[in-house]
Structure 1
Amino acid sequence: MSFHAESDRPPPHVLTPSSEEDVIAELSGGKGRNLHTLTAAGFQVPSWSVIGLDAFAAFSRGSGLDERLESLLDEDWESRAGQIAAEIALLIEAAPLDEHIAAAIALAYTQAGGGLVAVRSSGAEEDGTEHSFAGQFDSFLNISGLDQVTAHVRRCWASGFSERSLRYRAQRGLPPGTGGVAVIVQRMVPAERSGVLFTADPTAGRTDRHVVSAVHGLGEGLVSGAVDADTVVLDAATGDLLSTVIGDKQERYDAGTGPGCEVSPVADEDRKALSLTTDDLARLHAVGVRATAHYGAPQDIEWAIADGTLWVLQSRPVTTLGPAPEPQGELRLWDNSNIIESFSGVVSPLTYSFAADTYAKVYDSYARALGVRGEKLREVQEWTPHLLGYVHGRVYYNLHHWYRMVRLAPLYPLNRRVLEKSLGVAESISDETADTLHPFTPGPGLRGRMVRLVRTAIFTGRFLTIRKAMDTFHRDFYRAYEVFNNVDYDALPGDETYRRFRRMQRELIEKWGPMQALDATILLSVGLLALLTRRWLPDAPEWFTWAAAAPGQDVESAEPAWALAELAAKASADAEVRQLLDRTPDADAYRALREAGHGEFLAAVDAYVADYGYRSPDELKLEVPDLHEKPAGLFTLLRDAQPGAAGRGAGDRGGEADTYLDQHLRGPRRWLYERVRNKARAALTDRERLRFCRTRAFGSAKRMLRAIGRDLARTGAIDTWDDVFMLRLEEVRGAYEGMIAHTELKELAALRRRQLAADAELHAPARFTTHGAPYWSGNLERAGWTGGPAARSGARELRGTPCCPGVAEGPAVVTDTPRDIGGGILLTYRTDPGWVAALPSAAALVIERGSPLTHVAVVARELGIPTVVQVRNVTTEIRSGTRVRVDGAAGTVTVLAEPEPPSDSRP
């Protein structure tokens, strides 16, 4: 056994929520990994940092302690565990700290917020799959000041060699001194109420109820047994109160200022009072449902409530229920990530089925373009129709299939990581799972390697010539698009419109496949850029890579924002037009402008609709009219626009990246970095052009399918023309191809409309797993599909992924439609490309879902709007009117002041 570390080992790590997942997994220990998982999943966790496992190795090596430890832990260590533990504790307490270790401890204390903190051990093997090490290591509460923190870090290190830890190892046949102990430094919460939540009854072994134990003040009294807790049992599905037992609160643990916990008497009137309010119980139930769904098993959750915020301190599996039965059937991972940008909330069956059919055709064509043939192509065709799922009216990525798709291109390990970033996926799948996902059965031996080599060569050719291929595609696309777009489909017979729709699918959509090499190009080039940034610019801010890869101010998708700002400037320059727009309802504005003789301004409006009429909110949802059909939406955006706010070049984040590069990177490295950067920028520019094509293709499909709906209504097949959205694409096809009777369609439409209304009332998780048939065997119930809105925790600061630097303060506008922003801070669960025109009206942009490569985030960077994405629960925690500060570089959203309550106007 040896405790020596490498002679050239770098300074010890201090890990934070923004640290890379692989570093967290390697160096943070069991509790540290758990804190990172909770934080990344969006739970409200007190600020923390971890002094990595490598810190003790460096301390031991630098102080000469490692040789002494090795001699103490000889072959006879089991019989002398108590004596050895005491001697090691004295050695660790007395050994000198070098400046690197001392600096790491000071940094960890600072990053946890300073002041009063908890110092907690985090064993490398703790909470493992084979051994839990529960209760084997020490934790200390209410520690204040760097000297005290340093002293308690030493005590945590020593607990890795405590008598109980050594005997635990001996009982399990484990050698001493392996693994090591990381140390967590975490801000203390001045708890008003605290306790433990079990999301299954650990005594009765029942998973249909939650059990809450709670006390006033700090939960250490509950753990130690010094305080008799209140116990509340809740229905696991509904959160309804089933039973309550009020504890005899003879003492209360308070968060004092010294080490340990201070005990104080409880007033007589409090002894019989329930520690928890109805709102507390609702929030605890919501957290329990989320945690169980997230981990896939019942959880034992430590929590505290302070200043109205529910904090999650720790979560571990409930270990007393006995082994759960192994779930049966194929594992599927569902994630709405940035698909919610295109298909938000509940969507119609026609929208889903058209989208799923389009994805299947495109990626089947992509596989063909990479040379996949024969039996391998047939295997690909087994999963391409199922890239998207439809659960209770919501669209989800069937995520494992997307990993299979990414593996069609070379450099899979790099590309899958960038795929997760670009989709905005909150957590990675394990390497073990990722390695099992193939687009088709890999060929063995030399033949398999040759097939992969050929596919790599084909991809490389497409990678190198993607710009030329894009130019050719755009030329052919717009040539065909002009043919399909300039037709009055309502004037055609229904079967002729259907025939043209099928032709449009062949000519505009099925030829899209080879262009998916562009997505692979983005994954590869952005992945390489991020890799070079980490290697050569390790101190670069988190937003830097996205700024370096920004397409530039000529990105086509920003055109609607610039065009709307110019239109707003025209309106502001004419007082009569401005006054008319301000006093006229949006639905009547076009007619009012015409009657008032403002022909020149109407010509500008018509030009905007002609160019960008398909780019409107929910543009890919077939059931939502675009600006061509309902131009009132343009006047809604126009009234809210800030004239001149989106001038070209306003957000020159690429220039900021250039300045940073000039200061920190030169020579051959700079040359190579710029080559990769230019490839990434060009690919992202082309992607925005391609997305505009997608918008127009969906716009054409929308016009055709609406005309088909009116034809079906005229024939009596459906009651009203918009019932067509309640049908699936294959049923529309069946109506014209003789595969379904017209008499079936009315009942189908009525049934689905009722079901969609019920689905809209459900709370949908962002990510969940199922086994076997998703709707069966309690899959969705376990995943957290519940009725009603999520409860607020009262958090004052939320964190997300920095996307565009800058700081803005103002009133929050929490909305699911891009209107009435008025220069406020725009907070939304998701966006879609149709929101671009509203961006100039926002001082900052905060998106709960999505990624730095979300379409609106890309454009926001070009407009210089401070932007943070992936801010969990922001639309639950913050209400409209709340004054907030957004820091786009730090990725934080801070509540400055709650909105004033509405005045009571009653006499």
Structure 2
Amino acid sequence: MGVDDLQVLGPWTDPATFAALAGGKARGLYTLHNGGFRVPDWAVLGTDVFDRFLIETDTDVDLAALVVKVTSSDDLATALAAGAELRAAIVAAPLPPTVLELIGDAYDRLGVSAIAVRSSALVEDGLGHSYAGQFDSFLNVNGVDAVAGRVRDCWASAFSDRSIRYAFAHGQPRAAAIAVVLQRLIAARASGVMFTANPITGATDELVVSAVYGLGEGLVSGAVDADSVVVDKSTGTVLETTVGDKDRTYAPVGEQGYAVLEVEQQQRERTVLADAELAELVEWGRKLEADIGAPQDIEWAIDVDGLWLLQSRPITTAVGEGAARGAVLRGAGEVVADDEQRIWDNSNIIESFSGITSPLTYTTAADIYGRVYHGYAKSLRVPAEQLRQTDRWTPVLLGYFHGRVYYNLLHWYRMVGIAPGYPLNRKVLEAALGVDEPLPDEIAKTLRPYTFRTPLARLRSRGVTTVIYVRRVFGIDDMVERFMAEFYRVYDEYDALDYSTLTGEQAYAAYRKVDRDLVERWGSLLVLDAILLTCTGLMYLLTKLLLPKAPEWFLYAVVGPGADVESAEPARAMTELAQFVRTDPELVSLINSTPPEQIYDALGDHAELRGRVEAYIDRYGYRSLDELKLETPDLREDPASLFIMLRSAIGRVGEAAQHSRGAEADEYLDANLRGFRRRIYERLRGKVNRSAAHRERLRFCRTRAFGMVKRMIRVMGRDLVARGVIDEFGDVFSLTVQELRGCYEGADTAGLRELVAARKAQRARDAELVAPARFVTTGATFGRAELARQGWVPVADTPAATVGTVLPGTPSASGLVEGNAVVVDEPRDVAGGILVAYRTDPGWVAALPSASALVIERGSPLTHVAIVARELGVPTVVQVKDLTKKIRPGMRIRVDGTNGTVTVLSEGDLRNET
């Protein structure tokens, strides 16, 4: 039945007419109904009804002209003013008889009293932008007069301030006409939303269900804390359940509206959905997504008759840009065949990025790794075609799982294959990375960085690369010196800036220039790592040939960057600072008894110490614990960590320093190797030592560069708070580097607040998981259930090691020490104890003077801290499996740095044999 040429729309309407007039929300209902899903009865007043209202309404205001003004003005203020005038006119104007009659017809079709009246604009629920929450909907509307009033309110909402601002902010069309859906109201026991892809991570193999008691108004408005369940889409396995504080429920009451009722305590503590209800909902979600062919945002409700789907729209944040965001939170964003495996190993990457690492740090590091290794291949004259092939794997050398950074291990073997000597270099790579499980030869041999059309092309390219590589081997000293001169030119320029006066735009411009300049130059210097791998491998072979009976500690003691390596300077400077403090009992008391965060302010009466501290910060202020993590403040921003390390160093001043094994290595050489063979050995030894020293210098430059970038990002973070893009300064680290750049390059920032909040909540959940040292994924779509099977499980109690337990590891610095274990996740208050850590980073160097020995669960003898520990004579064992799970704080242990063991002692079995 229709009125003139107007008609009520519904499932009976032909598709073309429906698509033209019904609007986005109604399109979703049409799809659900025709797909066989259980949907409450509904009918639609199309946009042609609104158009008839504009034409036939008796009013002094030209409604159609105002619509044009709202939708066509390029000036936001003009559009908002016209919108306000139009809304007032719509609400005040009487409805024409033809329109009233059609509303009555639509209402009668539903055959019930209580209905929901929902907006359905043409621009709503599109693939790009949903306009979610921009237009009005009303629940529990009873009677035709009330329905007519709510229809008019829905029309007016099309021209609300929020919808106009939304359209301007997103560069989208403003609503020119709006349809209205009338739908039977479900007296819901429970209701909520379901996303068939994770809108937080972008993971397409997960569904996310939110549920509340009663009507969904409490969930939509945010007034009720919903239950949230994450489900593996393929298996239906529940991956994560968060029980909300459901203290209120929304229920229909009276002729219109709803009431807010209190929920009994017993109901609050259990989940809204029973297992069977959740399973049915998940099954419907899977089917709907498969039918439509895209992830869906679905509203649902459950009443005494069972489950109903109320509406469905495309997810606008889980695909496209959301999928890229998902790569930030899981995996590497790499395109992988369904049967293709990837091996993830944290090895000594945790020296740089320990524990939970921010999205900004991870994406910055992944971006830099990709570009510098591309530059490395280019510097060795890899042909253009093969260089393009490297672009498939250099950007994904790292992966990101539950907030932790991993090596995408197979690609690192590919990277080693760029330079000559792959069979030898990959063995040294495994030692350098500290991997527990070397890759089988049958796999390692297949990992080529690129392929060639013909064998001749391959020979030609490898010949050119080899010649250039050999030249670099002999010219590396000059290369490093040229780089250092250029680096410090750039560094001194930007370190001298007054960052307190920079605007966000100025800081971003400086950041982009530094990023381009340094990354471009750094690529060619990565040949040093290849040279070090080659020379270390040759050193190992030569030692086995000429000194077959050499002890295990010998190879690590005979090579090294030298005691005067630049990166050990902070540790020596800290020792000197501690020696000065020890001369004054009052200063010792101040450092030992005052909270570290208060000491700097308390130095006002101690001018000389304050001057020395400021000199230390002036020289080493770019350093910090976890110094490559952008979110960690440096000493200039937070000097508290300086005093933590100073307190520990004070306790060690005056004790006998551990002697370095380097002298013993020379004695062993004098006794066992002479003449021509000794000269050959020393020639190669000198090359390895110089290369190691160069590498430490470059790592020190990297630390300085990250310190400089930290200062720039902190300016940008505070600027984004002032602009209202994020809520607080620390939120900048929850952005990816691409999102941060977008904030200064014109990208849409409207959804960043919500994205940051979701990532922070996810970070808290990730922190509760054990991170396995190594695991394997197959294909690109692996879910949390698969990860859990490989060790990503909540932290569980692990029995402590018993007396007499011997934990084997890798010897790194010789010596025998017994003492109390100090298990820490950052360098603090070791005070002569044995420092036990899961991992370390270069920032831990300043804590070494306070430790009698060092034991690290992860890492390798070639990591930064292990190298410096050898130079300082601190006995060290690395790669001790499950160390921090089995050794408890205060346990008495023996560290044998010569044989690489850690032994648990009884309370009375303590002696010192340093």
Shorter-chain TM range is: 0.5 to 0.7
Which of 339, 347, 354 is the matching residue for 1:344?
Answer: 354
C-alpha separation in 1, matches of 2:771 and 2:902 = 24
> May I ask how many residue pairs the two structures share in their alignment?
575
Deviation at 1:490, TM superposition (A): 3.9
Q: How does 1:357-506 map to 2 (within 5 A)?
A: 357-506=367-516
Q: Please name the residue that 2:549 is paired with.
A: 539
* Residues 771, 779 of structure 1: 8 Å contact kept: no
Which of 900, 907, 914 is the matching residue for 1:891?
Answer: 900
C-alpha separation in 2, matches of 1:526 and 1:443 = 33
Q: Please name the residue that 1:119 is paired with.
A: none
Q: Please name the residue that 1:718 is paired with.
A: 726
- Which piece of structure 1 moves more, 788-797 or 728-737? 788-797
Are residue 333 (structure 1) and residue 343 (structure 2) matched?
A: yes
Q: Please name the residue that 1:851 is paired with.
A: 860
Are residue 630 (structure 1) and residue 638 (structure 2) matched?
A: yes
C-alpha separation in 2, matches of 1:440 and 1:453 = 15
Deviation at 1:425, TM superposition (A): 0.6
Are residue 604 (structure 1) and residue 587 (structure 2) matched?
A: no
Are residue 676 (structure 1) and residue 684 (structure 2) matched?
A: yes
C-alpha separation in 2, matches of 1:588 and 1:768 = 43
Report the secondary structure of 1:897's partner residue.
Answer: coil
Report the secondary structure of 1:872's partner residue.
Answer: coil
C-alpha separation in 2, matches of 1:647 and 1:548 = 26
Residue type of the alignment partner of 1:389: G
Q: How does 1:3-82 map to 2 (within 5 A)?
A: none
Gaps of 5+ in 1: 1-235, 239-326, 901-907
Deviation at 1:501, TM superposition (A): 0.6
Which of 839, 850, 861 is the matching residue for 2:848?
Answer: 839
Deviation at 1:787, TM superposition (A): 0.8
Residue type of the alignment partner of 2:818: E
Deviation at 1:625, TM superposition (A): 0.6
C-alpha separation in 2, matches of 1:645 and 1:774 = 55
Are residue 580 (structure 1) and residue 587 (structure 2) matched?
A: no
Report the secondary structure of 1:708's partner residue.
Answer: helix
Which of 803, 811, 818 is the matching residue for 2:820?
Answer: 811
Q: Please name the residue that 2:801 is paired with.
A: 794
Q: Please name the residue that 1:779 is paired with.
A: 786
Which of 853, 872, 880 is the matching residue for 2:889?
Answer: 880
Deviation at 1:442, TM superposition (A): 3.5
Alignment CA distance shift 1:777-1:639 (3 Å):
closer
- 1:78-111 deviation digits (Å, cap 9, x = unpaired): xxxxxxxxxxxxxxxxxxxxxxxxxxxxxxxxxx
Which of 838, 841, 846 is the matching residue for 1:829?
Answer: 838
Are residue 768 (structure 1) and residue 778 (structure 2) matched?
A: no
C-alpha separation in 2, matches of 1:628 and 1:899 = 44
C-alpha separation in 2, matches of 1:814 and 1:650 = 21
Larger Rg: 2
- 1:12-69 deviation digits (Å, cap 9, x = unpaired): xxxxxxxxxxxxxxxxxxxxxxxxxxxxxxxxxxxxxxxxxxxxxxxxxxxxxxxxxx
C-alpha separation in 1, matches of 2:655 and 2:738 = 46
- 1:264-288 deviation digits (Å, cap 9, x = unpaired): xxxxxxxxxxxxxxxxxxxxxxxxx
Are residue 865 (structure 1) and residue 874 (structure 2) matched?
A: yes
Which of 681, 686, 708 is the matching residue for 1:700?
Answer: 708
Which of 691, 714, 728 is the matching residue for 2:736?
Answer: 728
Report the secondary structure of 1:845's partner residue.
Answer: strand
- 1:676-708 deviation digits (Å, cap 9, x = unpaired): 111111111111111110001011111111111
C-alpha separation in 1, matches of 2:630 and 2:538 = 37
C-alpha separation in 1, matches of 2:771 and 2:868 = 28
- Which piece of structure 1 moves more, 651-660 or 375-384? 651-660
Alignment CA distance shift 1:716-1:332 (3 Å):
same
Residue type of the alignment partner of 1:435: K
Deviation at 1:862, TM superposition (A): 0.4
* Residues 886, 892 of structure 1: 8 Å contact kept: yes
Residue type of the alignment partner of 2:413: Y
Report the secondary structure of 2:822's partner residue.
Answer: strand
Deviation at 1:351, TM superposition (A): 0.6
Alignment CA distance shift 1:368-1:649 (3 Å):
farther
Deviation at 1:374, TM superposition (A): 1.4
Deviation at 1:621, TM superposition (A): 0.8
* Residues 581, 650 of structure 2: 8 Å contact kept: no
Q: How does 1:283-322 map to 2 (within 5 A)?
A: none
C-alpha separation in 1, matches of 2:448 and 2:657 = 43
C-alpha separation in 2, matches of 1:462 and 1:687 = 14
- 1:348-403 deviation digits (Å, cap 9, x = unpaired): 10010011111111111111111123111111111111011001110000011111
Alignment CA distance shift 1:428-1:882 (3 Å):
same
Q: Please name the residue that 2:751 is paired with.
A: 744
Are residue 527 (structure 1) and residue 537 (structure 2) matched?
A: yes
Residue type of the alignment partner of 1:619: E
C-alpha separation in 1, matches of 2:749 and 2:757 = 14
- Which piece of structure 1 moves more, 524-533 or 434-443? 434-443
* Residues 337, 423 of structure 1: 8 Å contact kept: yes
C-alpha separation in 2, matches of 1:743 and 1:571 = 52
Q: Please name the residue that 1:75 is paired with.
A: none
Alignment CA distance shift 1:887-1:550 (3 Å):
same
* Residues 812, 826 of structure 1: 8 Å contact kept: yes
C-alpha separation in 2, matches of 1:669 and 1:443 = 44
Residue type of the alignment partner of 2:437: E
Deviation at 1:790, TM superposition (A): 5.4
C-alpha separation in 2, matches of 1:645 and 1:328 = 59
* Residues 381, 465 of structure 2: 8 Å contact kept: yes
Q: How does 1:148-159 map to 2 (within 5 A)?
A: none
Alignment CA distance shift 1:883-1:647 (3 Å):
closer
C-alpha separation in 1, matches of 2:363 and 2:673 = 49
* Residues 827, 847 of structure 1: 8 Å contact kept: yes
C-alpha separation in 2, matches of 1:774 and 1:685 = 43
Alignment CA distance shift 1:778-1:380 (3 Å):
same
Report the secondary structure of 2:704's partner residue.
Answer: helix
Deviation at 1:583, TM superposition (A): 2.5
Alignment CA distance shift 1:793-1:814 (3 Å):
closer
Alignment CA distance shift 1:899-1:715 (3 Å):
farther
Q: Please name the residue that 1:754 is paired with.
A: 761
Which of 664, 669, 677 is the matching residue for 1:661?
Answer: 669
Q: Please name the residue that 1:512 is paired with.
A: 522
* Residues 762, 787 of structure 1: 8 Å contact kept: yes
Report the secondary structure of 1:489's partner residue.
Answer: coil
Deviation at 1:898, TM superposition (A): 5.7
Alignment CA distance shift 1:798-1:694 (3 Å):
same
- 1:805-836 deviation digits (Å, cap 9, x = unpaired): 10001001111111010101111100000000
Residue type of the alignment partner of 1:792: P
* Residues 627, 634 of structure 2: 8 Å contact kept: yes
* Residues 813, 880 of structure 1: 8 Å contact kept: yes
* Residues 852, 875 of structure 2: 8 Å contact kept: yes
C-alpha separation in 2, matches of 1:582 and 1:450 = 66
Residue type of the alignment partner of 1:881: G
Report the secondary structure of 2:419's partner residue.
Answer: coil
Q: Please name the residue that 1:18 is paired with.
A: none
* Residues 810, 879 of structure 2: 8 Å contact kept: yes
Residue type of the alignment partner of 2:755: L
* Residues 566, 643 of structure 1: 8 Å contact kept: no
Report the secondary structure of 1:441's partner residue.
Answer: coil
Q: Please name the residue that 1:593 is paired with.
A: 603
C-alpha separation in 2, matches of 1:785 and 1:644 = 39
* Residues 624, 632 of structure 2: 8 Å contact kept: no
Q: How does 1:552-567 map to 2 (within 5 A)?
A: 552-567=562-577
- 1:216-260 deviation digits (Å, cap 9, x = unpaired): xxxxxxxxxxxxxxxxxxxx999xxxxxxxxxxxxxxxxxxxxxx
Deviation at 1:863, TM superposition (A): 0.6
C-alpha separation in 1, matches of 2:796 and 2:466 = 48
Deviation at 1:580, TM superposition (A): 2.0
* Residues 651, 861 of structure 1: 8 Å contact kept: no
